[in-house]
Amino acid sequence: MIDVLIAGAGPNGLMLACELALAGVHPVVLERHATPTGEPRANGLVGQVVRLLDRRGLYTRLSGDDNPPHPQPSFAFGAFPLDLTMLDDNPHYVLGVPQAQLEAALAARAAELGVDVRRGHEVAELHRHPDFVEIKTSGGTTLACRFLVGADGGHSTVRRLAGIGFPGVTNDLSVSRTATVTVPATHLDPDTGGLLAPGHDVVAPFRHTRTAHGLIAWAPFPGRPAILSTTEWPATPATGDDTPMSLAELRASVARVLGTDIPVTAPDGPGLLRRLTGGNTRIAARYRDGRVLLLGDAAHVHPAIGGPGLNLGLQDAVNLGWKLAATVQGWAPPGLLDTYETERRPVAERVVMSTKAQSALIGPGDDITGLRELFAELLGKPEVTGHIAALMSGADTRYPADPADPLAGHYAPDLLVDAGHGPTRLAELTRTARPLLLDSTGAYTGTAAPWRDRVDIVTGPIQGTTATALLVRPDCFVAWSAGDTGTLRASLTHHFGSPR
């Protein structure tokens, strides 16, 4: 009997597999593709997920930088530039790595942890039993598992076979075109790397630029081919052109959006040519149906503007991982697994709200132009920019907690703890994905001792917070900050079950 079977070896499925393995549960991952596709998808990680990867020891692998991640000085919202240097506490982080590189790093980590990844297998049938789920693959193999997790994308087979609805909206109002391209140096700004478009302002790199006729984005990634994309809103809804996208088609779209031609050619080697018509905004009717759970795009899809997808999905995985492991191992308190949905669904709803708002702000027409003029004035206020930065990064997420506890429910700040060997970053202490009690005085160590089989205790001075003690969940959210021993005992029991 397999404890946890994960359908899908994309970033979310692999991240969940790593979290389960760290917690002592060894899942099996099924992936329908025999080999990684390498298909260009997301071009980077945006938001709190960058700090999350640092706290699992993956940031340096991906960035090549031994230093901790630093906030991004600027970003964009709805094709507006966000000046994040005006913020006293900037929550916004960016890591520019393509999804294929992220998947490779997670696959390597999963292999180190002994995760069983079986490629060339796709779930074809699903049968429920009181104590397990039975699936049959497209190749005819039958497998039984205690829990089945669908991490198999927006067209999730697991979600369909489980009979879980996917309500939302599909539209065909826009057409997006994307390609890897080479642009002559004569059309590149030597100072910024932006596109020089005669009769138009410089098209800044790595952000969306709106014109009266559409949207354009230029991404000159160092060390790999640049990506150029456009979005247009035709006068009549698109009908779904099945002809392959061409570079000439993208060039014509660029000319319509900018009102001038940009000569583009194909880069050496294989490239990306993609046309997308319309889009989906949907959230699953439920994230859990008995022993079947949904993760990442299988649970929610939304416009890609602002790059929130991996920030949302990978944090889903880390939230689910420790709760599912606790349930499998038998120490989960009642209802713990259900909090996966109650905590993560509101975050997905805020992402949907954010992407809808941005989609409205980039739309065509004079009325939208007027709205943008007002919005630009608002972004001059630090409190507005700070609010949007927190929304886009996920830093405004707070899980239900004691309202009298000012830190509980928030993501743990970056801390230094000295347990007798010099200051150690919190990111180094959380790489085991175990619950963690940080106790600067030793006053709470005795209270937590009965939970030592599942909670690590670190005693020593803490820098970076006024709290003298913190109880940190495996997903790096604070469960409790220093109060009396009674509230600590209650929080330990609430989150991590009764002591053995």
311-360 pLDDT, tens per residue? Answer: 999 999 999 999 999 999 999 999 999 999 999 999 999 999 999 999 88
Gap between the Cα atoms of 473 and 490, Å rounded: 14
Q: What pLDDT band is residue 241 in, cutting at 50, 70 and 90?
A: low
Gap between the Cα atoms of 188 and 195, Å rounded: 5
Distance of CA 290 to the CA centre of its chain: 25
| Dihedral pair phi/psi, residue 157, rounded to 5° | -70, -40
β-strand 123-128 against 45-46: which pairing, if any? unpaired
Average pLDDT of the segment spanning 419-431: 93
Residue 471 has pLDDT above 60, yes or no: yes
Question: When comparing pLDDT for 392 and 401, which is higher?
Answer: 392
Average pLDDT of the segment spanning 423-434: 96
479-495 pLDDT, tens per residue? Answer: 999 888 999 999 999 99
Gap between the Cα atoms of 388 and 379, Å rounded: 9
User: What local confidence, expressed as pLDDT, does residue 145 receive?
Assistant: 98
Direct distance between the N- and C-terminal alpha carbons of the chain, in angstroms, rounded to an integer: 25
Please answer whether residues 203 and 218 qualify as being in contact, where contact means their C-beta atoms are separated by less than 8 angstroms.
Answer: yes
Average pLDDT of the segment spanning 40-44: 75
Report, in this order, helix, strand and coil percent for the chain, each rounded to 5.
30, 25, 45
Gap between the Cα atoms of 497 and 333, Å rounded: 4
58-101 pLDDT, tens per residue? Answer: 999 999 999 999 999 999 999 999 999 999 999 999 998 889 99
If phi over 0 gives left and psi between -120 and 50 gives alpha, with beta otherwise, what is residue 124? alpha
- H helix or E strand, kind and range, residue 390: helix 382-393
Domains of the chain: 2-167+281-393 (3.50.50.60), 170-280 (3.30.70.2450), 410-496 (3.40.30.120)
Residue 436 has pLDDT above 90, yes or no: yes
Length of the chain as a residue count: 500
Please answer whether residues 90 and 71 qualify as being in contact, where contact means their C-beta atoms are separated by less than 8 angstroms.
Answer: yes
Residue 236 has pLDDT above 60, yes or no: no
What SS3 class is residue 6?
Answer: strand
User: What local confidence, expressed as pLDDT, does residue 357 receive?
Assistant: 93
| Dihedral pair phi/psi, residue 5, rounded to 5° | -110, 125
Please answer whether residues 378 and 384 qualify as being in contact, where contact means their C-beta atoms are separated by less than 8 angstroms.
Answer: yes
In sequence order, what DSSP letters do the residues of 281-313 get, joined into one string?
EEE-S-SEETTEEE-GGGTEE---TTS-HHHHH
User: What local confidence, expressed as pLDDT, does residue 240 receive?
Assistant: 53
**Angle in degrees, 0-180, between the axes of helices 339-361 and 366-378, rounded to the nearest 10:** 120
β-strand 116-119 against 28-31: which pairing, if any? parallel
- H helix or E strand, kind and range, residue 350: helix 339-361
Residue 237 has pLDDT above 60, yes or no: no
User: What local confidence, expressed as pLDDT, does residue 378 receive?
Assistant: 96
Instruction: Report the chain's mean pLDDT, rounded to a whole number.
Output: 93
CB neighbours of 54 closer than 8 A, spacing ≥ 6?
68, 69, 427
User: What local confidence, expressed as pLDDT, does residue 280 receive?
Assistant: 87
User: What local confidence, expressed as pLDDT, does residue 276 receive?
Assistant: 86
Out of 161-170, 301-310, 377-386, 425-434, pick the least confident.
301-310
103-155 pLDDT, tens per residue? Answer: 999 999 999 999 999 999 999 999 999 999 999 999 999 999 999 999 999 99
User: What local confidence, expressed as pLDDT, does residue 482 receive?
Assistant: 83
The b-or-e profile of 259-280 (16+ CB within 10 A means b, else e) is eeebebeeeeeeebbbbebebb
Please answer whether residues 95 and 63 qualify as being in contact, where contact means their C-beta atoms are separated by less than 8 angstroms.
Answer: yes
Long-range contact set of residues 378-382: C-beta below 8 Å, sequence gap at least 24: 379/77, 379/80, 379/82, 379/83, 382/86, 382/87
Q: What pLDDT band is residue 242 in, cutting at 50, 70 and 90?
A: confident
Residue 34 has pLDDT above 90, yes or no: no
Residue 239 has pLDDT above 60, yes or no: no
User: What local confidence, expressed as pLDDT, does residue 199 receive?
Assistant: 81
Gap between the Cα atoms of 433 and 56, Å rounded: 7
Average pLDDT of the segment spanning 408-436: 94
Residue 181 has pLDDT above 80, yes or no: yes
Tokens of 441: 């005085």
193-202 pLDDT, tens per residue? Answer: 999 988 888 8
Please answer whether residues 194 and 203 qualify as being in contact, where contact means their C-beta atoms are separated by less than 8 angstroms.
Answer: yes
| Residue of 399, 380, 403, 425 lying closest to 478 (CA atoms) | 399
Question: When comparing pLDDT for 403 and 294, which is higher?
Answer: 294
Question: When comparing pLDDT for 241 and 437, which is higher?
Answer: 437
Number of C-beta neighbours around residue 181 at 10 A = 25
